[in-house]
Amino acid sequence: MEATNESYIARTSGLKGKDYLGYAMGDAAGCLVFSLVTSILQKYYTDVFHLSPLFIMFMFIGARVWDAINDPIMGRICDTVKPTRFGRYRQWFLYVAAPLCVLTIHMFLKFPGLGGENNYVGTCIYATVTYILWGMCYTVLQIPYGSLASVVTTDVTERNKLSVFRSIGAAVGSIPVFVLVSFIYKKRTDATGAFVYGENGKIITDMQYTPVIIGVTIMSVISALLLLLTFTLNKERVITKPAPKEKGAAAKAIRILLHNRAFLAVSLTAMLLLAGQMFTQSFYLYLFNDYFNANWMNLASQACTYSPMIIFMFFLPWLARKLGKKEICSVGVTLAAFANFVLFLLRGMDPGKLMYLFLALCFVSGMGLTTIVMQLWAMATDAIDDIEVTTGSRDDGTAYSFFNFFRKLGQVIAAICVNGALLNMNYKYEKGAVQTLENLKKMYDLATLIPAVLFGLMALILFVFYPLSKKRVDALQVEKEAKLKESYENKTIDIA
């Protein structure tokens, strides 16, 4: 392709409506199945499989230890394998759609004889194998999908919009699971058909297997179809050449990532964000079912958390461009931390009077979190740009594999917090169990204090450690133009 007077950023940009829609579909597809893991799976393991919270916590941690090996391998595969006619990253959506669908369904299948009350060891083995295989398959989706943003466009404004659309896709993909939650509980009855009441005077409800597996199957199939659409609608504008397979290249790339303050700060922020989101999504199922006895609050709380996106999607890219991503996200997560701490201070109120105030503060928290949720991926791409212009190194697959690993560390933190909270309050997970009033009070305290701490730590990192202010990001655009010109002239990239 002959050089033109048009800037290299302009030649590798120019997104249309279908590009944003196609990119958003990728996270919608991923979150359709990921939301099942972040919300239902934990309670499914305790209440349907009847597994101990202690075993679940160690299983989740063990899976993340394997990810420490698995994720960088996938990242290097993305960076070193020769692109096909479908591109470097886009091709993986075709390969992973069917396996991810099948493995998601199998995580929730309860074959005859499975269940802690029948075959505890066999159930533990089945849960571990299916969960780890699912995690490996999800990695094959997430690392190429995250890397795709770097080659879809190089324009910072378009990347901001891509990050917003990705967040909207994630929200749309997460909603169905909370609709499903409304149909998976049944009031408990005794041998005479009479309702069974807990110590708080409310009727106990139990999770049911049949509606869960039907809902999981439908969501998994839709996820696979959306991945095929994601493959069809996206285009890689920057054609990167395979990274050289030199000895120690992976270790060198990782050292560069860990020595970049911006990348490390945004990775830690992503870790804490996912930890907070997964904790609330998983633990709120216990809170709303056992403490409030109002399962409709699951859907209502998610509506309160995600509805601010409908407002912010129209002006957040403009706000980020005018004020800076770091600047607005720092304030946003501080607001989220404050809202959750206020919820903690409201402990002791009657649950019947508290529930609507609880939802109102969920909305306030959601407003704050929306800023970072919608801009996180653009901030990650800014950090990778910063690495490229300061070191000359750019390994998108390795960078996103490491970024993804930090997010999985967030899953570890969430697993420790959820199951640690259940163990601390002595949660009764045996079939037919009833929670005590003392247990329920501890449940509320932990459900509100833990997110307040996690979001507060995020605010500290963004205010103090993340260096990419608006001024620095503007300077990066100028430096990136020069770097693109150099890479094109040296034939390390091509332009579609």
pLDDT band at 3, cuts 50/70/90? very low
Q: Are 383 and 266 in contact (CB under 8 A)?
A: yes
Higher pLDDT, 275 or 302: 275
pLDDT digits (tens, 9 = 90+) for 315-364: 888 888 889 999 999 999 999 999 999 999 999 899 989 999 999 999 99
Is it the case that residue 144 has pLDDT exceeding 50?
Answer: yes
Instruction: Give, as one character, the DSSP assignment of residue 85.
Output: T
* Ranges 1-10, 18-27, 214-223, 351-360: which has the least confidence: 1-10
- Domain-embedded: residue 93: yes
Q: How far apart are the first and last CA of the chain?
A: 9
Which residues face 121 on adjacent strands?
A: none
The pTM score is: 0.77
Burial (CB count <10 Å: 0-12, 13-18, 19+), residue 30: buried
- Domain-embedded: residue 81: yes
pLDDT at residue number 2:
38
Compute the distance between CA of residue 151 and CA of residue 154 in angstroms, rounded to an integer.
7
Is it the case that residue 227 has pLDDT exceeding 90?
Answer: yes
Compute the distance between CA of residue 483 and CA of residue 480 in angstroms, rounded to an integer.
5
pLDDT at residue number 100:
96
Number of domains in the chain: 1
Question: CB neighbours of 408 closer than 8 A, spacing ≥ 6?
Answer: 64, 67, 71, 135
SS in 3 state form for 188-221?
A: CECCCCCECECCCCCECEEECHHHHHHHHHHHHH
pLDDT band at 4, cuts 50/70/90? very low
Compute the distance between CA of residue 145 and CA of residue 153 in angstroms, rounded to an integer.
14
The chain-wide mean pLDDT, for the chain, equals: 86
Q: What is the average pLDDT across 401-424?
A: 88
Q: How many helices (H) and strands (E) does the chain have?
A: 18, 4
Q: What is the average pLDDT across 64-71?
A: 80
CATH of the domain at 216: 1.20.1250.20
Alpha-helical (H) ranges within 324-469 are 325-345, 351-391, 396-424, 437-460
Is it the case that residue 79 has pLDDT exceeding 90?
Answer: no
Higher pLDDT, 222 or 485: 222
Is it the case that residue 465 has pLDDT exceeding 90?
Answer: yes
Is it the case that residue 475 has pLDDT exceeding 50?
Answer: yes
Which residues face 206 on adjacent strands?
A: 186
Is it the case that residue 246 has pLDDT exceeding 70?
Answer: no
Is it the case that residue 210 has pLDDT exceeding 50?
Answer: yes
pLDDT at residue number 476:
81
Tokens of 313: 């999607």
- Domain-embedded: residue 115: yes
Q: Which DSSP helix (H) or strand (E) runs through 80?
A: helix 53-80
pLDDT digits (tens, 9 = 90+) for 302-315: 889 888 888 887 78
Compute the distance between CA of residue 276 and CA of residue 255 in angstroms, rounded to an integer.
28
- Domain-embedded: residue 3: no
Compute the distance between CA of residue 347 and CA of residue 329 in angstroms, rounded to an integer.
28
Give the CB-side neighbour count of residue 63, counting CA atoms within 13 A.
Answer: 27
pLDDT digits (tens, 9 = 90+) for 423-440: 888 888 777 778 888 889
Instruction: Give, as one character, the DSSP assignment of residue 238.
Output: E
- Domain-embedded: residue 190: yes
- Domain-embedded: residue 2: no
Is it the case that residue 495 has pLDDT exceeding 70?
Answer: no
Q: What are the C-alpha distances in Å from 248 to residues 78, 81, 237, 244, 255?
A: 17, 17, 29, 11, 11
* Ranges 223-227, 291-295, 361-365, 486-490: which has the least confidence: 486-490
- Domain-embedded: residue 1: no
Compute the distance between CA of residue 76 and CA of residue 242 in angstroms, rounded to an integer.
10
Residues spanned by the domain of 165:
8-495
- CB count within 10 Å of CB 393 equals 18
pLDDT band at 93, cuts 50/70/90? very high
Higher pLDDT, 100 or 431: 100
Q: What are the C-alpha distances in Å from 459 to residues 272, 422, 472?
A: 10, 27, 19
- Domain-embedded: residue 43: yes
Q: Are 279 and 417 in contact (CB under 8 A)?
A: yes
Is it the case that residue 180 has pLDDT exceeding 80?
Answer: yes
What backbone phi and psi angles, to 5 degrees, belong to 82?
A: -65, 130
* Ranges 60-64, 296-300, 460-464, 482-486: which has the least confidence: 482-486
Higher pLDDT, 249 or 112: 112
Compute the distance between CA of residue 23 and CA of residue 15 in angstroms, rounded to an integer.
11
